[in-house]
Structure 1
Amino acid sequence: MLKRFLSSTIICVLSWTTSMANNPVQTASHIRTVQLHKKGWSMSQPIINLYPSEQLTLSFDDFAYESKNYQYRIIHCTSDWEESNLMQTEYIDGFMPNSVDDYQYSFNTTFDYIHYQLDFPNEDIKLKLSGNYIIKIFELGREDEPVLIRPFYVTESMVSILPRIKFTSNSNFRGSMQEVNFTILHPNFRINNPREELKVVLQQNGRWDNQIDNLKPLFIRNEELDYTYNRENLFDGGNEYRWLDIRSTRFAPEHVSEISFFDPHYHFTLFPDKLMGRKPYFYREDFNGRYYVDVKENRDPVIEADYVYVHFRLPVQAPFVDGHIYVTGGLNDWQLNSNNRMEYNFNTHMYELTLLLKQGFYNYQYHFLEQGHTKAEVERFEGSFVQTENDYIIYVYYRSVGDNYERLIGVNISNSIKHSLSK
């Protein structure tokens, strides 16, 4: 069955080019469950300090029967994810490419896969500069055909970032949007022309499509830069993420209507999801879109967690002609493409999608992308509430006239509830 599945799947190996269009995530179809995080902290963002040096862990599954000679290369990028005009020796201490040698075969699973893991920086390479980076994985001799690309960040922590996440003062969006103001303090870091030398990027949870990257300081004081807007820094509050528990193939948890076994694979059919936009806000603790791999019937989820088919269903009376619906979250790196786009079933009057997921606990949402747009709409199916708990990441980049690359001089991760969301 696995052979038939792989042969019927168009295995599109995606090449990395010099322009990422602010979204460098790419994955070949035979690569699954790619995770990149701080070593020992699986739910963290892929952000590390340059000094003191920290490590990241990259892991992924390859649907294959035999191991491959995978190599990796790390590339320094601009804040827009274009390759920097730097020599490798300027930002790496060591030689590349290097091998990915840590791998294990899956055990007692219906899908055969090989789990790879890499910790870096390591004894082979050290990072010398801050900024945006990508790591790409490829087979030996096929560097121009990477099987996966993932971004990560290295910060110098030269400035302090003080966030203020609040109800917006704009009355038109007061019930549905969150205002992200902040101040940058730089008493020990000289910035001569902050409007030209600095670039700030704001992200909500892990989303790429709605990030804000064009803010300039409104007020410049002595060693203090103030970013207090009332429109340009607004994010849809959205809603708490829906959850999916597929850790057990024996017992159906809440939201799962049926677990079926069609030899040799498992299928999880979910109850039709409800439209949350028409309901009042209700706090539900979530992971802000992230997920973790786990299995109840076995001991080692890394290689004993199986892959199962999950059938999503969203009731809609008639199909939309002005755009598409996507199931999104950390389960697909918040991508909006054909792999997670739902199709309308005229017989059931529902949008439907089947995803192949590794056993674990997942967050997800339904987003609508209008034709001709790049930013997805969350309110149509999830609702948008100012009370919603979200994580916000603020990246501060610096480049003076004489610099030949952008330094990442500060990063702040803030939670809308923990940072006193208030009127």
Structure 2
Amino acid sequence: MWYVRYVVLLLFVSGFQYSGAQSLNNFVYSQSIKTVMCHKEGWPMSYPVIQLGTDEKIELSFDDLNNDSRSYYYSLVHCNSHWEPSDISEQEYVNGINQVPVLDFDFSFNTTVEYVHYKMQFPNEDIGINYSGNYIILVYEDFNREAPVLARRFMVVERKVQVQSQIKFAMNSSLRKQQQDINFTVTHRNFEISNPLHEVTVSIYQNQRLDNAIHDIKPQFIKPESLEYNYNRETMFEGGNEFRWLDLRTYEFRTEDVSDIHFHDPYYHLDLKPDESRNEKSYFFQNDFNGRYVIENREGRDPFTESDYVLVHFFLPRNEPFAGGDIYIMGGLTNWRIDDSSVMRYNPQFKRYEKTLLLKQGFYNYLYAFKTPQTDQATVSILEGSYSEAENDYLFLVYYRDISDNYDRLIGVAQSNSVKP
């Protein structure tokens, strides 16, 4: 439809964030929108993936610190494997009207910072999904699609193939202690693939990072019912380290991570203890959320409406700033973005990097990452170290498009862990 093309164009020219060839990305456009969570319904720690033709749903929630209810709506945009808008109309991939009101919301209770908590689950009786593939959900106010307040990625899979993976140490001796090498096989016993080199591509994501994802992976060996991917360097990831923990469940007393608590209306301020570099320390395993977070508080009953917002001050001592790049706080607490919203600033007076984030009470994971202006990919090895033994999640997305298709189908999704079988 003509207005879909118009909306997509407006999204690009009005600042819709993209990387590469106009790929649509996770982004929050309004400063009042906080704590955006997108996952499979009933599984907050999951990737936002559901299976086509089932009762599975995606759940999206967020807070609006304006504290008055707004007329929010959401729409879905189908994308290709590169997260660019597909060349199909919304009438093809959506059942119903692709402009659904957000009617499920609650006001915060007994918090110093007032907000409205919004939640939606889909597909539902108002909107259904016909095609597999990559999707963007846009949330906007008062029918104004060209000015979204947030955008989030999710995926719909057909499950036509299976993925078996092996995460191992790198073969190269110089990289063996720092890198994780990924080999995998795509099995398609009941799904015909005529030309795998042209019809099938695979993307791999480490944890929920977008900056270091590997795309457009082609099979090395083609067998009658399987495709094998046994690369050496092409599917290699920095092992990194276990994520740092942050407990913000209370501001009534100082937790292990907090050095000071003070209140300046309307916010509680939590000064964290200075973090140390871990790049020269021995690897030590500890359970973590692989960069995710959980909303929770010690004093209230409902974590989503009774958890407060606090200003959290991060400190990273350093005698002098790093040359040639910047330090970023990486994880779900910064929406996995490597930009101005997550960059730390060096304070020469106190000889440290500093960053203040407004966060909802809960448990958080994070890492410190370094990035130069010349690349889109960050590295954690400089401040965190990189260890091939580190525990990481890997997400495999298998796309298929034959000569008769006009969109990229998502025919397989698999998740593997570098430590847990």
From the superposition, tell whether residues 19 and 314 of structure 1 become closer, same or farther in structure 2 (CA, over 3 Å).
closer
Question: Are 2:316 and 2:354, in contact at CA under 8 Å, matched by a contact in 1?
Answer: yes
Deviation string 1:184-237 (CA, Å, 9 cap, x unpaired) is 100111111111111100000000000011321111111111001111111000
> The residue matched to 1:278 in structure 2 has which SS?
coil
Deviation, 1:29, is 1.5
Counterpart of 2:414 in structure 1 is 412
Deviation, 1:15, is 3.9
Counterpart of 2:55 in structure 1 is 53
Segments of 5+ residues of structure 1 without an aligned counterpart are 1-12
- 1:301 corresponds, among 303, 317, 321, to 303
Percent identity between the two aligned chains: 47
AA aligned to 1:296 is R
CA distance in 1, matches of 2:334, 2:415: 22
Deviation, 1:102, is 0.6
Counterpart of 2:84 in structure 1 is 82
Counterpart of 1:239 in structure 2 is 241
- 2:45 corresponds, among 37, 43, 46, to 43
> The residue matched to 2:388 in structure 1 has which SS?
coil
CA distance in 2, matches of 1:65, 1:280: 47
Between the two proteins, the alignment pairs up a number of residues equal to: 407
CA distance in 2, matches of 1:311, 1:254: 15
> The residue matched to 1:89 in structure 2 has which SS?
helix
Deviation, 1:278, is 1.0
Deviation, 1:142, is 1.6
AA aligned to 1:198 is V
1:62-211 map, 5 Å: 62-211=64-213
**TM-score scaled to structure 1, two decimals?**
0.94
CA distance in 2, matches of 1:71, 1:19: 28
From the superposition, tell whether residues 48 and 16 of structure 1 become closer, same or farther in structure 2 (CA, over 3 Å).
same
Question: Are 1:368 and 1:378, in contact at CA under 8 Å, matched by a contact in 2?
Answer: yes
Deviation, 1:402, is 1.5
RMSD: 1.4
Counterpart of 1:4 in structure 2 is none
Deviation string 1:113-161 (CA, Å, 9 cap, x unpaired) is 1110001111111111100001000011321000000000000000010
Deviation string 1:304-351 (CA, Å, 9 cap, x unpaired) is 100000000111111123011001101122101111110001111100
Deviation string 1:168-196 (CA, Å, 9 cap, x unpaired) is 11212000000111001001111111111
Question: Are 1:20 and 1:81, in contact at CA under 8 Å, matched by a contact in 2?
Answer: no
Counterpart of 1:364 in structure 2 is 366
1:179-328 map, 5 Å: 179-328=181-330
Question: Are 1:19 and 1:83, in contact at CA under 8 Å, matched by a contact in 2?
Answer: no
From the superposition, tell whether residues 16 and 345 of structure 1 become closer, same or farther in structure 2 (CA, over 3 Å).
closer
Segments of 5+ residues of structure 2 without an aligned counterpart are 1-13
AA aligned to 1:418 is K
From the superposition, tell whether residues 20 and 31 of structure 1 become closer, same or farther in structure 2 (CA, over 3 Å).
farther
From the superposition, tell whether residues 385 and 407 of structure 1 become closer, same or farther in structure 2 (CA, over 3 Å).
same
AA aligned to 1:289 is G
Counterpart of 1:5 in structure 2 is none
Question: Are 1:70 and 1:139, in contact at CA under 8 Å, matched by a contact in 2?
Answer: yes
Deviation, 1:17, is 7.7
Question: Are 1:16 and 1:144, in contact at CA under 8 Å, matched by a contact in 2?
Answer: no
AA aligned to 2:136 is I
AA aligned to 2:272 is L
From the superposition, tell whether residues 21 and 388 of structure 1 become closer, same or farther in structure 2 (CA, over 3 Å).
farther
Deviation, 1:18, is 11
Counterpart of 1:33 in structure 2 is 35
From the superposition, tell whether residues 290 and 354 of structure 1 become closer, same or farther in structure 2 (CA, over 3 Å).
same
**TM-score scaled to structure 2, two decimals?**
0.94
Deviation, 1:23, is 5.4
> The residue matched to 2:148 in structure 1 has which SS?
coil
CA distance in 1, matches of 2:269, 2:235: 42
CA distance in 2, matches of 1:288, 1:21: 28
